Amino acid sequence: MANGMFGLSESTARETAPVWDKVKDFVTPMEWPAQAELIVEINRLKRERDAVILAHNYMTPEIFHGVGDYVGDSLGLAKEAARSKAKVIVQAGVHFMAETSKILSPDKTVLIPDLKAGCSLAESITGADVRLIKQRHPGLPVVTYVNTTADVKAETDICCTSANAVQVVEWAAREWGVDKVILIPDEFLARNVAAQTHVGIIAWKGRCIVHERFTAADIAEMRAAYPDAEILAHPECPEEVLAASDFAGSTAALIDHVTARRPKQVVLLTECSMAANIAGDVPGVQFIGPCNLCPYMKRITLENIRDCLVNMQFEVTVPEAMIAPAQRAVQRMIDLPPPAVPARYDMIKARHHVAVELI
């Protein structure tokens, strides 16, 4: 009987009411009935298929809060997937994330709702590229950002995230007994790491299409319009953006900063949906633009998540020969003691410019 809120059945309205409370500032009342019905259907299908959904921070709020069993950054999601007893993993994110889940959970079925959900950064480099880099720089360890494909991870000595990149680079330099490390593929992450370590960095010119578009001019405009706002940036942004921000750090550090400080106004220089998803947990904090949408992340919708589970379609596999070396690179990072706090890249302000060798 359709007599609940927005014309929904009482059971659907009751089940989705907590989600509505989280997303109501970002979803219109006109959109909500269809989304609520899909959320209920997807959650039912998960139970039937023995499936869990990994929802990345850049998913839209109705996905993030409505159907995500585990939410967070790409590595955190893959680790949760490995711990889960579910037989099926649905990656509400992009393709390299689904591959990472498969690397850490090779016996599970990993699905992605849209095979075209790629990543400009991950697609900027291949395993063949890494083999050539190693030939050009023999004896140097290769540290690879987790935002890469399985064939790149398979050629890697150890992976890193934006939260632990400095720690991993310094560990690799000590372990290999060298003063220089290859850090690929994100150029800006490499430059921002280089500003915080004495280890020399050899970098690749890969970039994220979301973060490379932010400029110091954007920050100047926001400061003029909103002088009391705190400006936060992700380390995949250019160096001058981090230097001009109030705080810069990994995804986890940005979330922790907002959650702990609860500033009245925040400019979050990253993907738009992250601000919307944090906002659901920090009422009273106003998030102000600019932000950039990731067209790849936005290929994931409630509709194709539902279809993915109905048809058990778009399975992501990794060649067996790649799984062991890629898993070793990821596991080496996991086995390191976690940093005491997620990396803060705003410390770049206090350091001199550090040269990075681009391949």
pLDDT at 293 over 90: yes
Q: Are 161 and 73 in contact (CB under 8 A)?
A: yes
What tokens does 67 get? 């159907």
pLDDT tens for 35-63 read 999 999 999 999 999 999 999 999 999 99
State the average pLDDT over residues 179-183.
Answer: 97
Give the model's pLDDT for residue 1: 37
Give the model's pLDDT for residue 4: 61
CA atoms within 13 A on the CB side of 189: 31
pLDDT at 309 over 70: yes
Give the model's pLDDT for residue 352: 47
Give the model's pLDDT for residue 180: 96
Q: Are 81 and 168 in contact (CB under 8 A)?
A: no
pLDDT at 217 over 90: yes
pLDDT tens for 87-136 read 999 999 999 999 999 999 999 999 999 999 999 999 999 999 999 999 99
pLDDT at 343 over 70: no
Report d(CA 112, CA 94) in Å as an integer: 8
pTM (predicted TM-score)? 0.91
Sign of the alpha-carbon torsion through 69, 70, 74, 75: negative
For the chain, the distance separating the N- and C-terminal CA atoms, rounded to the nearest angstrom, is 64
Ramachandran angles phi, psi of 126, nearest 5°: -125, 170
Give the model's pLDDT for residue 144: 97
State the average pLDDT over residues 321-332.
Answer: 96
Residue 321, Cβ density class (10 Å: 0-12 exposed, 13-18 middle, ≥19 buried): exposed
∠ Cα 231 235 237 (to 5°): 75
Q: Are 236 and 189 in contact (CB under 8 A)?
A: yes
pLDDT at 338 over 90: no
Give the least confident one: 21-25, 75-79, 281-285. Answer: 75-79
pLDDT tens for 133-168 read 999 999 999 999 999 999 999 999 999 998 889 999
Give the model's pLDDT for residue 357: 84
> Cα 61 vs. chain centroid, distance in angstroms?
15
| Residues 6+ positions from 30 with CB-CB distance below 8 Å | none
pLDDT at 198 over 50: yes
Give the model's pLDDT for residue 58: 94
Percent of the chain with pLDDT over 70: 94
Give the model's pLDDT for residue 346: 61
pLDDT band at 342 (very low <50, low <70, confident <90, very high): low
pLDDT at 351 over 70: no
pLDDT at 24 over 90: yes
